[in-house]
Structure 1
Amino acid sequence: MVANKKIFLILLFFLLAIVFSPSAGYSKNLIWGGCGITKKAFMAELSKAYEKKTGIKIHLKGGGATYGIRAVGIGRIDIGGSCRHKIKGDILERNTRLIPVAWDALVVIVNKKNRLTNITTKQLKDILLGKITNWKQIGGRDRPIKLVIRKSKISGVSYMLREMVFGDADKDFRPDAIIKKSSGPVEKYVEKDLDAIAVSGISSARKRKGLKFLKLNGLAPTKKNIGTGKYPLVRPLYLTVALRPSKMVRDFIKFALSDEGQAIISKQGTVNLKEKNGTH
């Protein structure tokens, strides 16, 4: 009786492992999940090209940068996408490896009808902290500044913004900021409100016609300025994998890093690895 019970439990374990494995039900497929910015920067087109080349379909899910790191670590997805680094010492992120495949920039976004064209890093800091609260303080009209931010401090944009601008990933922003759950709603809000300002990833924000990017310290977030590193807020975009990824995963990573894959990334308007630091 005891032996039968042990056999049953062993069989049940293997059955659950099959059912809940990332690619269960997909014999030649992979599952990707992660930040929308990485998806828009290159993953959507890269996955299409890979399927055409190999017949292997990559199912794209959302979830954000944190999901893109942590879901790989627990085996929920095969490959992740992240626009932030791993959090040092975080037990939930220790079982993943981040592979840089492209470069992105954090951009200061305003409504396209906003007459302002430039902002300094110091002014951006003061807006985030609530020290500057009116557009007239930085050369705009006499209207209150509505700061729109992401909900989580560990989202791709929030984490990297705090790290790059303040050197403190736990920095608190002004308490009356308008909070949205992801970059998409943040960008949509700014599109509709002339008084709004936010920071987002250029790979996502450039697809919205109602937005304008402010120059930062006189530098526009052009592909050239991002590639040379002259633009101040540049960050890597990652594919995340398990510490011991499957051959299917390794093959896709090789494709993403190949000349063919990097050319697809560049074609999307995203800075690829060779284009960084003006090496192209």
Structure 2
Amino acid sequence: MDRPAFIPPSPRVAGCMAGVVLALVLAAPAFAAVPLRYQGTHILTLGAMVDLGRAFTAETGIEMEVVGGSCDGALKGVRDATHTLGGLCCPASAKDLAGLPGRVIPIALDIKVVVVHPSNPIDSITLAQLRQVQGGEIRRWSELGGADQPIAVVYRNHCPQRGEPVLEQAVANRQYAVQGIQVFTSQDLVESVVRYRNGLGVVSRLFAGRANVKTIRVGGVAPTPAAVAAGRYPLTGPLSLVVAEPVGAETAAFLRFLKTTWARAILERHFIPLDLPRNLEGGE
């Protein structure tokens, strides 16, 4: 099962594939019998799950449905028994876990990056400055060594009901600038930063890589897996699977597949894989 030579498609292709998968799901008859169904955050879906699903099906012959969505949708799918797997980009809260017929397993870290317009001369920002910018205390680029222009803070206030690590670290008092531009998806965020020459936002490295934005350093440190491992780059968030229990045979097969070097190679394309627990399959 270990096949690191597998080369999954680029994020842009994966995004197209996710649309194809979704279109097929919508076109399928109601209650179509798919052995393994996943729904969850677009970060994990586009960054890994589409490719993991294809590779898993190629390896085992077990059909897997992969659909993008949200953290709330991932939890609801498992609660309602419509999906056997879900994907989260935020830590589950106590409320999320209460009565959940399953468990949450962190599988990777997502690197969050600070993005600006490609014409912006700024190359680095400190974490303290980032907090002040996003909170509205620093309002002009000249305060950071740039042009005397207002800063357009572009933000996506996702999962405000959860202890989102980057929200805690990079936004003063968890409150964005009142003059900020709120968007609803990560794709909207990077597109807005491209549109507004004075824009700044924080987004998953996956989406930054799909847009014509400039990624700047935090405290002089580039957002790389090596910098995260060394404890030098601070902006990361967990990516987790919600696994319905009891674990069925198809789900157990997928969890075993996650332990292979093939699966790890897919995760490593955009994320930092985490060590998985020995009892990943829950004893099945």
Question: Do these two structures clear the TM 0.5 threshold for a shared fold by scoring above it?
Answer: yes
Runs of 4+ in structure 1 deviating by more than 3 angstroms, as ranges, are 89-96, 151-156, 164-168
SS at match of 1:244: coil
Q: Note the C-alpha offset of 1:166.
A: 5.9
Contact 2:134-2:172 at 8 Å conserved across structures: no
Structure 1 counterpart of 2:258, from 256, 259, 267: 256
**2:189 matched residue in structure 1:** 186
**1:177 matched residue in structure 2:** 180
1:207 corresponds to 2:210:
yes
Structure 2 counterpart of 1:24, from 15, 27, 31: 31
SS at match of 1:252: helix
Q: Give the letter for the 2:168 counterpart.
A: E
Q: Give the letter for the 1:172 counterpart.
A: Q
Q: Note the C-alpha offset of 1:105.
A: 1.2
1:230 corresponds to 2:237:
no
SS at match of 2:95: coil
Identity over the aligned pairs, expressed in percent?
A: 26
Change (3 A) 1:164 1:104: same
Q: Note the C-alpha offset of 1:152.
A: 3.6
Change (3 A) 1:134 1:167: closer
**1:11 matched residue in structure 2:** none
Contact 1:101-1:257 at 8 Å conserved across structures: no
1:162 corresponds to 2:164:
no
Distance 2:264 2:227 in 1: 19
Change (3 A) 1:250 1:204: farther
**1:272 matched residue in structure 2:** 273
Q: What is the 5 A alignment of 1:42-121?
A: 42-90=48-96, 94-121=100-127
Q: Give the letter for the 1:25 counterpart.
A: A
Cα shift readout 1:143-199 (whole Å, capped 9, x = no counterpart): 11111111444388x93322334697xx22112211111111111111222111111
**Higher gyration radius (CA):** 1
Contact 1:30-1:59 at 8 Å conserved across structures: yes
Unmatched runs of 5 consecutive residues or more in structure 1 = 1-22, 275-280
Indicate the RMSD between aligned Cα atoms, in angstroms.
2.4
Contact 2:104-2:240 at 8 Å conserved across structures: yes
Change (3 A) 1:194 1:167: closer
Contact 1:87-1:93 at 8 Å conserved across structures: no
- TM-score w.r.t. length of structure 2: 0.78
**1:241 matched residue in structure 2:** 243
Q: Note the C-alpha offset of 1:35.
A: 1.1
Change (3 A) 1:92 1:221: same
Distance 1:70 1:159 in 2: 19
Cα shift readout 1:184-229 (whole Å, capped 9, x = no counterpart): 1111111222111111111232222x11111001110013213333
**1:141 matched residue in structure 2:** 147
Structure 2 counterpart of 1:198, from 196, 201, 214: 201
The number of residues matched between the two structures is: 246
Comparing 62-71 and 86-95, the one that deviates more: 86-95
